[in-house]
Chains A and B, each alone.
Chain A
Amino acid sequence: MKVIVEEDKCCGAGTCVLVAPDVFDQRDEDGIVVLLDEAPGPDQHDAVREAVSVCPAAAIGLIES
């Protein structure tokens, strides 16, 4: 699994961080998403898929391998 984020779509809600805190964080200055792990392990896959689905700006994409 490879995770892609579109910073210019991100609205800074932090929903992804609430769902998958090991994979996503937010910048201190403007809240924009920070990708901590672009190829998370299998234990994170369910949480990442949920983060993709519930992101209120549709700013996270996935390439499932």
Chain B
Amino acid sequence: MTLPEIAPPTCGPPESVLVVGASAGGLTTAEALRRKGFEGRITLLGDEPHLPYDRPPLSKQVLSGAWEPARARLRPEPALRALDADLVLGDPAVALDAANRTVWTESGRVLGADEIVIATGVQARVFPGQPDLSGVHVIRTLDDAVALRTELATARRLVVVGDGVLGAEVAATGRGLGLDVTLAGPQSVPMESQFGAWAGARLGELHTEQGVTLRLGTGVRELAAEAGRVVGVLLESGEQLPADVVVVAIGGVPATGWLVGSGLTCENGVVCDAMCRAADGIYAVGDVARWRHQGLGALLRLENRTNATEQAVAVAANILGADQPYVPVPYFWTDQYDVKVMVHGLVPAGAEIEVVEGDPAARRFVALCRTDGVARGVLGWNMPKQTRLHRQRVADALALAPAG
């Protein structure tokens, strides 16, 4: 693949910035621009009608009903007003002309700016040809979470299809609501691709103890339906799992459909250089951005909450002339039952695991994950502070890596 070759900005600071996407990445870009002294016009364009809200609580506090949806708002209204940005909500972007830095919206707006930031995130992936059945849900938006919560209130049997972080969290929340829950997915243990086999096995044990039925290591053949409503999930193994409600949590697809014809390279996200630039005057942040991580020497796209904000801060600085590569230590966390697991860095498949603090048997530990003797990740289980204190080992290894 050819990476975009973009000359560094040569003129002065821009007079206007348009941020497409009003979730964590987009909002933080606007905030960081103001914090760094940008006084020009900022437009924040969002496809949903809601004020900017946070997504990690959707599968947990919002789905369980512990929080009213408004609690998930990212900022109180006075803080949004203080940003002095034009907040345009409920109007999806439908096209971009990258060369002329112009965006068209569904309602017919035409928005131009000196610099454009793409922060449109991902959309929930569904099965190819998945029929439109009642009782089948995804969770990406606040409306998705509220709709699922409403339906779970009268359901008994929940089948979660997808053994990644979202599926595992939904399974845990479903058990908390007293439902019969089955978690199905193709990996041998839940969250294997994020945690590795060793910690994933511990997560599987936790779900089993909490009463979740695991059906792992098998794909899904089809959703079974009667009269337009889902009644079960048929696995590749031939087993049919009866269900009142099915949640499909099989990952996200970068929201780049609106960029067809824009002139940008979109391959599993908006392809960017090390400064997160997709083209002259065009940047991408958050789940949608696939940029060159110089520490890893590879294109990387991260779907996690902290990346959205950290990348936004980096992009705001680059818009204002910093010209600095974005070289983060990836981080994510998950809350399931009374367990909080977090990873700084990445856990490569087959990594050597060494417990450096705590005790897995006591369900509080920190594990260092090495490949060829190099610290690539640190995974913590109910020890957030201690895990962070080992983060520097991963940061040092990234900094020592040859720039790619």
Contacts and interface: CB of A to CB of B under 8 A. Distances in A.
Q: Do A and B bind each other?
A: yes
Interface of A: 11-15, 17-18, 26-28, 30-31, 46, 49-50, 53-58, 61
Contact of A54 (B313, B335, B342, B382): B313
Given A14-B385, A54-B313, A58-B74, A31 B340 contact: yes
B309 A11 contact: no
Nearest to A50: B35
A60 B223 CA distance: 43
Given A18-B388, A30-B382, A53-B28, 14 more contacts: A11-B340, A12-B333, A13-B306, A14-B385, A15-B306, A26-B388, A46-B35, A50-B313, A53-B32, A53-B35, A54-B313, A56-B56, A56-B305, A58-B73
A36 to B, nearest CB: 14
Given A13-B384, A28-B385, A58-B54, A53 B333 contact: no
B310 interface: yes
Contacts of A56: 24, 56, 305-306, 309, 333
Given A31-B340, A54-B28, A56-B56, A61 B384 contact: no
B75 interface: yes
A30 B335 CA distance: 12
A48 B134 CA distance: 46
Contact of A58 (B75, B342, B383): B75
Given A26-B388, A31-B383, A54 B331 contact: no
Interface of B: 24, 28, 31-32, 35, 54, 56, 73-76, 305-306, 309-310, 313, 331, 333, 335, 340, 342, 382-388
Contacts of A11: 56, 333, 335, 340
A31 B384 contact: yes
Contacts of A58: 54, 73-75
Majority secondary structure, B binding face: helix
Contacts of A54: 28, 306, 309-310, 313
A12 B28 contact: no
Contacts of B74: 58
Contact of A14 (B309, B335, B384): B384
Nearest to A14: B388
A8 to B, nearest CB: 9
A15 B306 CA distance: 8
Given A31-B340, A46-B35, A54-B28, A17 B54 contact: no
Contacts of A61: 76
Contacts of A31: 340, 383-385, 387-388
Contacts of B382: 30
A50 B56 CA distance: 20
A53 B306 contact: no
A13 B333 contact: yes
A54 to B, nearest CB: 4
A43 to B, nearest CB: 16
A14 B386 CA distance: 10
Given A58-B54, A58-B74, A53 B309 contact: yes
Contact of A12 (B24, B305, B310, B342): B342
A14 B387 CA distance: 10
Counting from the closest, the 9 A-B pairs by CB-CB distance are A31-B384, A12-B384, A26-B385, A14-B388, A54-B309, A56-B305, A53-B31, A31-B385, A56-B306
B54 A12 contact: no
A28 B386 CA distance: 7
A65 B384 CA distance: 33
Contacts of A18: 388
